[in-house]
Structure 1
Amino acid sequence: MNILITGITGLFGSFLAAEFSSLGKIHGIKRPNSSTRLVDELDLPIQWKEADLNDQQSLEEALEGIDLVIHTAGLVSFNPKDSDALYQTNVRGTRNLVNAMIQVGIPKLIHVSSVAAIGRSPEIPRVDEKFKWTDSPLNTEYACSKYEAELEVWRGEQEGLQVLIVNPSIILGKISHQRSSTAIYDYVLEQKSYYPKGSVNYIDVRDAAKLSRILYEKQKWGQRYILSAGSVSYQSFFEKMAHAFGKKAPSKALPDNLLSLAVWYAGFSRFLGISKIPLNKKTAMLSRLEIHYDNKKVKAETGYSFKSLAESFQWAK
């Protein structure tokens, strides 16, 4: 079997390549300037193809002879200025891929989405796969782009594709991976003083990759699954992280008035070009919420046991 992975040079994509390598030959899409360091570290035989999600013709050429596509490529950003780029990459890129698969006749697609695409509500603290997306001030531009990307995938199913969607929460890799999903470690490594009042949902990248393979092997087509080991308060999350890293944990709850000041500072710093702090009014509101993305469905259908948060942090060092 020939398996094509978009976003293979990223954290999750590289672990998916390792996990699926026992099932077939791995093909990876990359651009000329893409770094392949994470994949190179895994020492896997990869058949490289140059293609761009914004170029359907190059996608069609890359798809020739492929049996399964795993779509992990996407843009993660909470900067309001990136709204057009988020739409271009996450929505139009997914649309182009789906159209190319239909055109070439590739039957199977595993789409890596995000729990952000499910949505959230301050009135509903526990969210599962049945939660219906609603317009809300809590939906970031990133969340909207991932939701619309999912609509493109479900449209592809209506046109003949077999699709499986996974919705991971925050993916925990190693500090050395240096990707957007590992930037959360910097907060403790820099020994910040304050923690947000809300909660964080998380999953070890090794668990996320293995579960994706298990769901594929179980042929769970036409389904979506939340991939999350659990949720804890930011206070507990940072305390466990600090303990593993030998750092001082944040010890003060972030007051609302100080959070408002931080939002203003982050926006002004981005305007001056001296900071990329991903904090704005929406992300500030989210940091105060206690929302749990329920993993009962994936646990019931796979019997999987997740790695503990302490184990993930010890491995991440």
Structure 2
Amino acid sequence: METKKVVVIGGSGLVGQYIIKQLLNDKSVNYQVTSFDLTANSLSHSVIGDITNIAQLTEALENVEICIHCASPRTGLGKEIYFKVNVEGTRNVVDACKSVGVKKLIFTSSASVVYNGQHLLNANEDLPHCDIHLDAYNETKSIAEKLVLEANDPASGFLTIALRPAGIFGPGDLQASYSVYKAAKEGKYKYMVGENKTLFDMTFVGNVAHAHVLCCKNLNAENSGQAYNITNDEPIYWFDFAKFFYDGLGRKDSLKIQIPFTIAFPMAAISEFFGHLFKFEVLFTTFRMTFLSTNRVYDISKARKYLGYKPVYSLEEGLESTLVWLTELRDKDTEWKV
């Protein structure tokens, strides 16, 4: 059986852990996997290191064929941390890979690199990156993606690719999935912004990981140097997504109070003003209102054709497994009120 050495940068994060599990469970290739992250995990050999330290990266990538770079700070943080990790860190990854002769670099980008508040319906990869992004996370993901793809050099044997998942969710997800859990816990489950008429592509994390594993096998000179959308290919209305979890967690009377966008946007602007003035975190933001008011649906035909990608977990399977995890959280949460 063929043996391939792989380093997963960000291996202790949600996507990284799912990638490592799938690599280790693959029976067609003997993947020798190392996680490189700020913290260790129990799934594979771990190297504790910082993406902003190129010496640590270079040492970890010695004699490695494939590098998967899925490290990124969570959304909602300051601009400085995104530029430090997503831009400077990614530049370090590219430089380290080239210096030690890594053959394949697979980068986890974001479907939002082309989103600046416009409606996206069946958007494909021909859509240009935004000139002005709505937030620093998407701006730095865009810069990082360009760094990775521009480094593609089949002539020298260095192949790069970027995957753009949309709306990642699943067990262990501390962003989209957990935000619904928090709303259910804190009594915010009764509120719906808008009329629930905007469609979203939500992508189960197992499918995101599957796409990365496919790249380990199928990345070649012909399909390298490009970005590929990755979704479940089953668009859903956002509040249908949320209501599935609200109902499953026992909040049957959810979404009874509707807030029109004509009211929601001014409320968000006022919240941001006072948040900036008094230095507190604002959750009700104009960015989130923009997000909720626009369709975000992506075409994955390119990934199907050139990578052999298709979702291996249905949206229903992803929702059900995530609900099991959230239910376990609820049952252990002493602050949860019935």
**Normalising to structure 2: TM-score of the pair?**
0.80
Equivalent residue, structure 2, for 1:168? 165
- Alpha-carbon shift at residue 179 of structure 1 (Å): 2.5
Task: Quote the Cα distance in structure 2 between the aligned partners of 1:294 and 1:120.
Answer: 18
User: In structure 2, what residue type is equivalent to 1:233?
Assistant: Y
Equivalenced residue count is 302
Native 8 Å contact 1:169 1:203 kept in 2 = yes
Relative distance call for 1:259 and 1:134 in structure 2 (3 A) is closer
Cα root mean square deviation, aligned:
2.5
Equivalent residue, structure 1, for 2:141? 146
Equivalent residue, structure 2, for 1:55? 53
Match 2:150 to one of 145, 155, 177: 155
Relative distance call for 1:303 and 1:26 in structure 2 (3 A) is closer
Task: Quote the Cα distance in structure 2 between the aligned partners of 1:309 and 1:266.
Answer: 34
Deviation string for 1:138-180 (max 9, x for gaps)? Answer: 5321111000001110222149420121111111111xx2523
Equivalent residue, structure 1, for 2:34? 27
Relative distance call for 1:149 and 1:184 in structure 2 (3 A) is same
Native 8 Å contact 2:7 2:34 kept in 1 = yes
User: In structure 2, what residue type is equivalent to 1:201?
Assistant: D
Native 8 Å contact 2:34 2:45 kept in 1 = yes
The gaps in structure 2 that reach 5 residues or longer are 325-338
User: In structure 2, what residue type is equivalent to 1:7?
Assistant: G
Deviation string for 1:178-202 (max 9, x for gaps)? Answer: 5235333223444422223343321
Equivalent residue, structure 2, for 1:109? 105
- Alpha-carbon shift at residue 20 of structure 1 (Å): 1.4
- Percent sequence identity over aligned pairs: 19
Task: Quote the Cα distance in structure 2 between the aligned partners of 1:70 and 1:239.
Answer: 34
- Alpha-carbon shift at residue 106 of structure 1 (Å): 1.2
Deviation string for 1:8-62 (max 9, x for gaps)? Answer: 001110000011123311111123xx2x4xx43xxx3x22223211111111111
Q: How does 1:1-317 map to 2 (within 5 A)?
A: 1-21=4-24, 22=26, 23=29, 24-31=31-38, 34=39, 36=40, 39-40=41-42, 44=43, 46-79=44-77, 82-120=78-116, 122=118, 124-136=120-132, 139-158=134-153, 160=156, 161-174=158-171, 177=172, 179-186=174-181, 187-191=183-187, 192-197=189-194, 198-219=198-219, 220-229=223-232, 230-248=234-252, 249-255=254-260, 256-265=262-271, 268-269=274-275, 272=278, 275=281, 277=283, 279-301=284-306, 302=308, 304-316=310-322, 317=324
- Alpha-carbon shift at residue 287 of structure 1 (Å): 1.9
Helix, strand or coil at the partner of 1:27: strand
Equivalent residue, structure 1, for 2:336? none
The gaps in structure 1 that reach 5 residues or longer are none
**Normalising to structure 1: TM-score of the pair?**
0.85
